[in-house]
Amino acid sequence: MKEENLKALEQQFFYSDMKDISREELIRNMNEGKDAFSLQLTKTIGTATATANINCGLSKQKNYFANHYDLTVKHEGKPEYSRNYKFKRADPVITKNEAGEENKQWINSTLTFKEAFNQMEGRAINKDYVYVDEKEPRNNRKYNAWEYIDFTKPDANGICPAVKEYNFDLEKKFEGIPLPVLDNEDTAKQFFDSMKRGNIQIADYTKPDGTTDKMYFEANPKHNMVNQYDKDMKPVLLSLKRQQGTAEGLKQENDQKQSDPVTVGKKKGKKGGDVAEEDTKQNHSRGLRA
């Protein structure tokens, strides 16, 4: 067994969120010298059980490499679901700094164990990819995309396609939304990075009355929106931006009434009530769109 080959495989598993693979089993399989072998890794995520069957093969240079893994997700009382994921090679991209100096950046778009699980649960993953120019690698171009599984279009074998979305700006969807986590650059980055890995992210939300409550957020690039849930994971139907705007409007209205003695104590007219009712209807018609 080549020690450098073992180190390379362990590094590959580490960055693929599979560092818990048995080192003893890996060494034993490599020492046997077979053309191919498989390893298994099982994790419990929430109420689900996810098992990766990792397939390794021997190259022409007699080095082992991990080429793909089959991930199976099982929820109690539901049929299990499996999908194949490839370990993709890292591709180089030439970038230039402010001084015009060239740097080589390596991009690996392999979905990690957790990212693959999140995708199989119906969520989207954000990754950097590389358009590869086989004739001239210096022309390789990096691009960013969200990828999700379209479960509505299975092929003849029941395999659903992975779809990429290119114009979904997650950070922009949260502009003006009163989340204290976004007030700090570091915590905001952690919040968005987690969502880009396909996680449902929890955060405090500042309500119109100034109190805070827990809310959950989920990226939904397919419909160009952010799914919003309350602390009990029930969908929130009112737009957060609209809620904030309404709260600010009410505050301005109250401030104006307090400064105008003529209007103090007066009841709202019917027109004002109609406007509020129509505004509520519009909020509900927008669904979960942020």
**What is the distance between the alpha carbons of residues 106 and 202, in angstroms, rounded to a whole number?**
32
Over range 270-284, report the average pLDDT: 38
In this prediction, residues 179-203 reach a mean pLDDT of 97
Residues above pLDDT 70, as percent of the chain: 81
Residue 96 pLDDT? 81
Q: What is the pLDDT of residues 27-81, one digit of tens each?
A: 999 999 999 999 999 999 999 999 999 999 999 899 999 999 999 999 999 999 9
pLDDT confidence tier of residue 237, bands split at 50, 70 and 90: low
Whole-prediction pTM value? 0.79
- Exposed e or buried b per residue across 203-213, where buried means at least 16 C-beta atoms within 10 angstroms of its C-beta: bebeeeeeeee
* pLDDT range class, residue 101, cuts 50, 70, 90: confident
Query: Domain coordinates of the chain in residue numbers?
Result: 3-165, 170-285
Kindly report, residue by residue over 215-226, the tens digit of the pLDDT. 999 999 999 999
